[in-house]
Amino acid sequence: MPKYFDTHAHVNFNAFKDDADQVLEDCLSQGAWVVNVGTQKDTSVQAVEMAKRFNEGIYASVGLHPMHLFSQHVDEEESSFHTREEKFDSDFYTSLANSPKVVAIGECGLDYFRLPSGDEQAIKSKQRDVFEQHIALAAKSRKTLMVHCRDAYDDLHKILKKERSKVGKVIIHSFIGGLEDARKFIELDCYLSFNGIVTYKPRKELKPGGSSPQLYEVVREAPMSRILLETDCPYLTPEPKRGQRNSPLNLSFIALKIAELKKMPAADIARQTTENALAALELKTV
Residues that bind Zn ion (CB under 5 A): 232
- Helix, strand, or coil (residue 111): strand
Residue 107 annotated in ligand binding: yes
Comparison of 45 and 266: residue with beta carbon closer to Zn ion = 45
Residue 73 annotated in ligand binding: no
Name the CA radius of gyration of the chain, rounded. 17
Report in angstroms how near the CB of residue 77 gets to Zn ion at its nearest. 16
Comparison of 11 and 262: residue with beta carbon closer to Zn ion = 11
Report in angstroms how near the CB of residue 107 gets to Zn ion at its nearest. 5
Comparison of 144 and 262: residue with beta carbon closer to Zn ion = 144
Report in angstroms how near the CB of residue 267 gets to Zn ion at its nearest. 27
Residue 157 annotated in ligand binding: no
Comparison of 6 and 232: residue with beta carbon closer to Zn ion = 232
Comparison of 12 and 272: residue with beta carbon closer to Zn ion = 12
CA 16 to chain centre: 18
Would you call the peptide bond into 240 cis, given omega within 30 degrees of 0 as the criterion?
Answer: yes
Residue nearest to Zn ion (CB): 232
Report in angstroms how near the CB of residue 232 gets to Zn ion at its nearest. 5
**Given the DSSP bridges, would you call strands 73-75 and 58-62 parallel, antiparallel or unpaired?**
unpaired
**Given the DSSP bridges, would you call strands 170-172 and 190-194 parallel, antiparallel or unpaired?**
parallel
Name 178's Cβ contacts closer than 8 Å, sequence gap at least 6. 206, 214, 218
Q: How many CA atoms within 13 Å lie on the side-chain side of 113?
A: 14
Q: Cβ(144)–Cβ(103) under 8 Å?
A: yes
Beta bridge partners of 144: 104
Report in angstroms how near the CB of residue 149 gets to Zn ion at its nearest. 11
Residue 217 annotated in ligand binding: no
Comparison of 186 and 233: residue with beta carbon closer to Zn ion = 233
Report in angstroms how near the CB of residue 37 gets to Zn ion at its nearest. 5
Residue 148 annotated in ligand binding: yes
Terminal-residue alpha carbon distance, the chain = 7
Q: Which helix (H) or strand (E) holds 81?
A: strand 80-82
Report in angstroms how near the CB of residue 190 gets to Zn ion at its nearest. 17
Torsion of CA 48, 52, 53, 57, to 10 degrees: 90
Comparison of 155 and 232: residue with beta carbon closer to Zn ion = 232
Residue 21 annotated in ligand binding: no
Exposure class string for 220-236: b at 16+ Cβ within 10 A, else e: eebeeebbbbbbbbbbb
Rounded distance between C-alpha atoms, residue 169 and residue 167, angstroms: 6
Q: Specify binding-site residues for a divalent metal cation.
A: 8, 10, 107, 148, 173, 232
Q: Specify binding-site residues.
A: 8, 10, 107, 148, 173, 232
